[in-house]
Each structure stands twice: as structure tokens, then as C-alpha cells.
Amino acid sequence: MKDFQFKNTTDIRFGSNRIETELHDAVAQFGPNVLLTYGGGSIKRSGLYDSVKKILSDLNIIELAGIEPNPKINSVREGQKLAKENKIDVVLAVGGGSVVDASKVIASSAFYEGDPWDLVLDSTKRFKLDQLPLVDILTLSATGTEMNAGSVISNPETNDKLGTYGPNTPAVSFLDPALTMSVSKWQTAAGSIDIFSHLTEQYFDKEKNNDVSDGMIEGIMRTVIKWAPIAVAEPDNYDARANLMWSSTMALNGIVRLGYQDGWTSHPIEHELSAYYDITHGVGLGIITPRWMKFVLSAETVAKFAKFGRNVWHIQNDNDQVVADIAIQAVYDWVKSLGVPTTLPGVDINDDTNFKVMAESAVKVGQLDSAVYVDMSVNDVVDLYKATMTTDGFE
Amino acid sequence: MKDFQFKNTTDIRFGSNRIETELHDAVAQFGPNVLLTYGGGSIKRSGLYDSVKKILSDLNIIELAGIEPNPKINSVREGQKLAKENKIDVVLAVGGGSVVDASKVIASSAFYEGDPWDLVLDSTKRFKLDQLPLVDILTLSATGTEMNAGSVISNPETNDKLGTYGPNTPAVSFLDPALTMSVSKWQTAAGSIDIFSHLTEQYFDKEKNNDVSDGMIEGIMRTVIKWAPIAVAEPDNYDARANLMWSSTMALNGIVRLGYQDGWTSHPIEHELSAYYDITHGVGLGIITPRWMKFVLSAETVAKFAKFGRNVWHIQNDNDQVVADIAIQAVYDWVKSLGVPTTLPGVDINDDTNFKVMAESAVKVGQLDSAVYVDMSVNDVVDLYKATMTTDGFE
């Protein structure tokens, strides 16, 4: 087990009906000037927007609307301007991972004189800056951003989609599973696959004998595998929404990665897809992950895949290779069962003209040729993209 | 899943060789006057005491030695006096759970004018007090005290052994698995059983459908079951010590209990044994737990025990009752395999004269008749104590 340091001060408020009684003080403790950030109209349709405005009616609310999925640097630039102009004390993000991600970078940008894209390109700059406190009300279970310091921001001008980290996790995160009942089947499936992918990225790691993290991850994987299809089929099932919501937080609040080397592969490879084609991140991961598993499965890794098959999928067979093969097929079948496409043509990507440049970027950004579970060259990543064009090997 | 709030600000420093480079600043950030608390001579024999004194040689160190296992209120009283007389800024606890537990109550008592036993009897008083920051260097994997706000303190005059909680978890905890390599086989076994018991106490819960916590606990259970016998057989096995150390923290830092009702049974029942006979806590739990499992197994609970058997012990059988029975026997066999006694006569408790008064206290302190997985009356607890007098039903 690798050495580690861990500290996470986010205050989690999990459950229904907490916003009514706890949101005001959670925000007002930081001051009266609030930057309220959100996405499209869904929080207006659901009534959440009106509730929040009413609860905070004695505070000075400045609004930044229109933060899109795969949040763009332009939203951060707008937020930076508003934060400075209005002497903002606290950012309140209401929405999914994209809104919270953008809000974190806005919280840093409020103390930066230059273009926020500088901060995305070089996170070390953010650690030299102060950061506004962030309170969030999460409306989608997926990214884990509600209890970590990371964001992923896109720049359409350069086709970049990059991770960035600041010094602070959110101050207070409200996790009400009932707020996710209105999430579409598509986004529920995509969010669940995103959670599952966060777990595979950490679980398949070069470090050996980290059974605490392995064991916790296996348990959270079983939870997501069990409850995602239920949430898709029964959107109002509270137990399904609650298990997915807490899984999303635990999958990426930094705890289950402790003791690992923590090199990620599928995410950098998927980020290129989202950056070039603006597809739904979780759907892209569902397409990439089973092919990536086939690529990394070898005599060196078969024991870990067999552990995965036995502890996560309850596959009963004494032959490691057999268990590994069944487990990878099970991942593919689970993704498919959630009703999302399993190939790139399924999300309207029909040409391979960008694969080379995407692969080059993925390898560079993700250090895929040196710092991950099984190293990948540019050609390996191109081959992987090509494998996602058909269902060959899985159907 | 039950609603919950969670925030835990402890800064964990896990791994070897951190003390040399990080301990000084971790302590000195709070001020120059340090109360150094420890137990017997083991940290002097190991050289840890000399290292700590050298690293902190520019600070003003006041010492409180002699904190015993099952820490006594008298140690807390001494610490309170020293903290007040020397205007202590920070408590540095070096030792196992007992030293850290006592130090937490000392940290509260420094701001209290009365007898610290008042604070143990009524934790709410501690939440009205300030609390000195606590840094610890853990030398035993067992209680999880390094990342929670709880302590268990004994009062030999009244035969009480009670839990108490303060507002703060430790500020910084140094977890160096190598420091636990000198722990005896007996204490290694007892500590591992204590970890396992913390997990069963939380896992067997009235709340249903909390698969995130269930799954994480199952993973940590498998870890403890696997590595405890290895640590007993090979005291210098780093992987074994590291997995047990991080398991002990994760088992009781508050995370895996989230979403549960969290009523504990075996601990209150064992605490009476330790209070009356001063036996090793973990050994007492190893004697109590399999009998408690037999008591609570019924048509209502068999499904949870079958889940436990399949996910933790990999028992392959379609009949829930069969799996449950095998799993409970497996717990007993695992305890025995660690080389500790499995009956009360094995720890020199040969008379049943105190069982009634102990059972009455356990039911009262633990609210066993109303707030636990399966309610227990005084007579039920007496019967359970009686069942621990022999190996009947297990051998």
C-alpha cells in the first residue's frame, strides 16, 4: 500500500427536506453576497430555483445561468466577472457536476487577474490563490465533484477538455436523492456509468495488496450495478436514487483511491470524444470501458480481473481467465441494459478522421504511456477507438 | 437509507518515515506547550519516545505517562491538572487507542472546572466546552479513535466503562504501519477482532437497502479476515500491518455507518466484562460476537446473514439458513485461529455471580432493549454470558 495523506473537510448534508431548514445558514455563514450558478431551465421547472430564492430572500443574490454539460471556459469567465463586480462572498451551485465544476474554478478566478483558462492549464496557480467558499445543491448523481477539489473544463476554441484542481473541496454539499428523481433515463444511465468508471479507474491499479480500497470499491461497484437499472426503470425509487447518490460521492471523494498509484486511462480517452463531439461523458465511458478492459487483460492482470469477477459479479469458476472474460462481457451487458449506445456510431460518430490527433492528446494529457495500470501508446489508443466503431467481440 | 450529516476534518498521514519530516510542524502549528501522553515503556523500548523528544526539542514538553489499557479516569484527572498548570496548547498522544481515548477527554477537561468524570457521564457538557487540538502517533491498529470523536473511559471505583464523545476528532493522526510490527501476537489478534466487531456492529442494522455501507463494510471485513492471521504469524509483514491499520481507521471514522441507525450490541455487553475483570477488550469481543450472532439469527435476519456469508466468506450455497450457519461458525473459527481464548474460562473468568448486574448495566447503557439490531432483555444477555462459559455449539 502506497503512503498517503488525506484530509477532506466537506460538510455533507444527505437526505430529503434539509434544504428548507439548513440551506440559509450554510450559505449565510460566509456573507450576504451570493453568486447563484445553475444550468438550464430544469431547476426552474422543478421548483428548486424558487425554493432557493425564497430561502435566501434576505441575501444579495447574483445569478449566473446557462452553465452547460461539459462546462465551457466562457461560463467561468462570466462567473469571474460577476464575482469581482459584486464582491461575492460565497458561490452557491445548484445543478449537476458541470455546474459545480465550473463554480469551483469561478471560486478561484475571483482572486485571479488574468484569464481563468490559465488556471485550468496550470492548477498550481490555483494553490497560490484564495478560493471563495462553495455550497452546492446536487441534482445529478455522477461525478463526485460534491466532495472533491477537481473540475473538468472544456475549451471549444482549442478542442481541449482538461482536469483542474484547487486547494478546497466544497464547504457544504446538500445531497437530496429526491432531487434526482426527475433526471432522465439517459442521464441516469450516463451518471451511473460515470460512477462505475471512476471505480474501475482506481481499482485497476499498479499497486498491489491494497485490500481495503479494493474491498470498498467492490462493494460500491455492486451497489451501482444493482441500483442503476432500477433507477432507470423506476425514476421515483428513493432507495435507488439514494444508493446511487452516495455511491457517486464515495467513488470520488478521495477515500477509495488512498494507497493506490491512481493512474487513469478511460477518462482521458473519453475526454477526447466529449471534447471533439460533445457527447455525454458517461455514455462515452460506457463505450470505452469494456474495450479498455479487453486491452489491459493479460497474464499479468488476469488475477485482478478474476478478483473483480468473483467479488463484484459473483462469478463462480476456478479458472481466472474464464472469470475475467465473463466479467468484461458482464460490464458490456450492464451498460447495454441501461439503454444507452455501446458503439460510437450509436452516438452519431461515424468517421475515424480525428482518432490519431485525439489519441495523441489522450496519451499526452493522461500520461497513458507511463503512469497508468497498463501503458498505452498512441497506436494502442487509435486501435481502441477503432474497436468502438462496432460491437465485434461483444455481440 | 437514513438521512445523515457527515464532516470529518482529521488530517491523516499514512506511511513510514513521515514523523521525521512532518511531526514537528503538525504539533508546533498549535503552540509551544505540548502535553505528551503515553502508556508504559513500549515506546521507550522501541526508540519512538526518543525520536519524538528529539524532533520536538525546541518545544516545551510536559509528560503524562502510565495511561493503561482500558484507560482510567484517574489518568484523565492527572492530564487535566497538567494541562491547566502548564497552559498546554496541544496534546500529543503516542500509543494505542487507550492513550488517544484518554487524551481526547483530557483535551476537553482542560477547559472544565469540575471532575472529568462528569464529562464522561454526560457528553453534552463537552460540546459546550472548547477542546485542545490533539495530534497522535498511533502504535496499535484497533479502535479507530485516530479519526473519530469517541473515547471509552473506565472508572474502577464504580465498575463503569463508558463511551464519551467530544466535538472534535484528532487534528492530525500519524499512521505508520511499521510502528505496529512490535505489537504482540495477543494484542494484534485482539485489535483485529476489535476492528471486525466494529464492522459487525454497524453492518447488522435495522435499516435496509444501505448497499453502499454494506458493500464497503464487506470489503473491509474480508481485508481483516485475510490479513489478521498473517500479521499474527509474520509480525514484520508490512502489507498485513498496513491493511489492518487502514481497516481500523475506516471501520470507525464514521463513514461506513452513514445511512444506518447504528445501534451497537456486542460492545456494551463486552464493556461489562472489561470493566469487571479488566480483560483485553478485543478478546472479550471475540468471545461475545459469535454467540451474539447465534442469538440474533432468525427468520427476519437470515437474509442479512446470508449476504454476510456470501459476500464476506464466499460461501457458495443457495440456502440462506445454511450459509448463515456456516458464516457464524466461520467467525468463531477465525477468532480461534488468531490464538486467543474463545470462552470466559479461557480468560480466567470462572464464576457467573456478576452476570445479572452486568447484564442490567449493559442493557441500560447500550439501550439493548430498544435501539439495536435485535432487542435483548436482561435475561437474554445473562443467557449470552452463560453461553460464553463453554464451547458448546461451536466445537
Torsions phi, psi for B90 (to 5 deg): -155, 145
- Kindly list the residues from chain A whose CB atom is less than 8 angstroms away from the CB atom of residue B227: 211
Q: B30 to chain A nearest CA, in Å?
A: 18
Place A40 in a pLDDT band, splitting at 50, 70 and 90. Answer: confident
B229 min Cα distance to partner chain A (Å)? 15
Q: What is the pLDDT of residues A90-109, one digit of tens each?
A: 999 999 999 999 999 999 99
Q: What is the structure's pLDDT at B316?
A: 92
Cross-chain CB nearest to B11 (options A2, A7, A311): A7
Question: Residue A353's pLDDT is what?
Answer: 94
Provide the pLDDT confidence category of residue A332 given band limits of 50, 70 and 90.
Answer: very high
Nearest residue on chain B to A251, alpha-carbon basis:
B212
Nearest chain A residue (CA) to B240? A209
What confidence tier does A69 reach under pLDDT thresholds 50, 70, 90? confident
The percentage of residues in chain A with a pLDDT greater than 90, rounded to a whole number, is 97
CA quadruple A136, A142, A148, A153: dihedral sign: negative
Q: Best residue in B211, B244, B323 to probe A by mutation, most A CBs within 10 Å?
A: B211
C-alpha span between A337 and B354 (Å, rounded): 60
* Nearest CB to A3 within list B1, B15, B316: B15
The grid cell for B75 is 489518568
Residue A41: the pLDDT is: 84
pLDDT digits (tens, 9 = 90+) for B287-346: 999 999 999 999 999 999 999 999 999 999 999 999 999 999 999 999 999 999 999 999
At A168, the pLDDT band (50, 70, 90 cuts) reads: very high
Grid coordinates given for B368: 439493548
Give me the mean pLDDT over the B245-256 stretch: 98
All domains of chain B, ordered by start, with CATH?
11-179 (3.40.50.1970), 185-387 (1.20.1090.10)
Longest dimension (CA), chain B: 65
Q: Which chain A residue has its CA at the smallest distance from B217's CA?
A: A216
Chain A residues within 8 A of B211 when measuring between CB atoms: 219, 222-223, 226-227, 243
Contact: A5, B16; criterion CB under 8 Å: no
Binning chain A into helix, strand and coil, the percentages to the nearest 5 are 50, 10, 35
pLDDT at A70 over 90: no
Instruction: Pick from A23, A216, A241, A315 the residue to mutate for testing the B interface (most B CBs within 10 Å).
Output: A216
Q: Is residue A136 pLDDT above 90, yes or no?
A: yes
Question: Which of B3, B15, B227 is nearest residue A14 as measured by Cβ atoms?
Answer: B3
Quick check: helix, strand or coil at residue A323? Answer: helix
CB-CB under 8 Å, B7 with A14? no
Residue of A nearest to B170 (CA): A7
Confidence of residue A364 (pLDDT cuts 50, 70, 90): very high
- Smallest Cα–Cα separation from B168: which of B118, B121, B138, B127? B127
Helix (H, G, I), strand (E, B) or coil at B303: helix
Q: Which three cell numbers stand for residue A358?
A: 485525439
Q: Count interface pairs A-B at CB distance under 8 A.
A: 134
Give the pLDDT of residue B278: 86
Residues on chain B touching A219 (C-beta within 8 angstroms) = 211-212, 214-219, 311
- The pLDDT, as a whole number, for residue B309 is 98
Nearest alpha-carbon partner for B381 in B267, B245, B254, B238 = B267
Closest residue in A to B238 (Cα) is A1
Residue A354 confidence (pLDDT) above 90: yes
What is the structure's pLDDT at B70?
87
Helix (H, G, I), strand (E, B) or coil at B96: coil
**Between B212, B220, B221, which is nearest A243 by CB?**
B212
Beta-strand ranges (E) seen in B74-147 are 90-95, 134-138
Question: Best of A211, A261, A313 to disrupt the B interface by mutation (most B CBs within 10 Å)?
Answer: A211
Say whether pLDDT at A254 is over 90.
yes
pLDDT at B159: 87
ipTM of the complex: 0.96
Chain B residue numbers touching A29 (CB-CB < 8 A): none
Question: Residue B69 has what pLDDT?
Answer: 87
- Kindly state the average pLDDT of the residues B53-76: 96
Q: What is the mean pLDDT of chain A?
A: 97
Contact B211 A218 (CB under 8 A): no
Residues of A in contact with B3 (CB under 8 A): 14-16, 18
CA distance B200 to B251: 10
What pLDDT, on a 0 to 100 scale, did the predictor assign at position A274?
A: 87
Mean pLDDT, rounded, for B125-148: 97
Query: For residue A278, what pLDDT is reported?
Result: 86
pLDDT at B354: 96
pLDDT at B17: 87
Q: What chain B residue is nearest to A15 in terms of C-alpha separation?
A: B3
> Greater confidence, A42 or A169?
A169
Choose among A224, A165, A183, A177: nearest CA to A200: A224
Average pLDDT for B195-220: 98
**CB-CB neighbors (< 8 A) of A241 in chain B:** none
Mutate to test the interface with A, among B212, B238, B257 (most CBs of A within 10 A): B212
Distance CA B144, CA A16 (A): 30
Q: Which residues of A touch B219 (CB under 8 A)?
A: 211-212, 214-219, 311
Q: Specify whether the CB–CB gap between A107 and A134 falls below 8 A.
A: yes
Mean pLDDT of chain B: 97
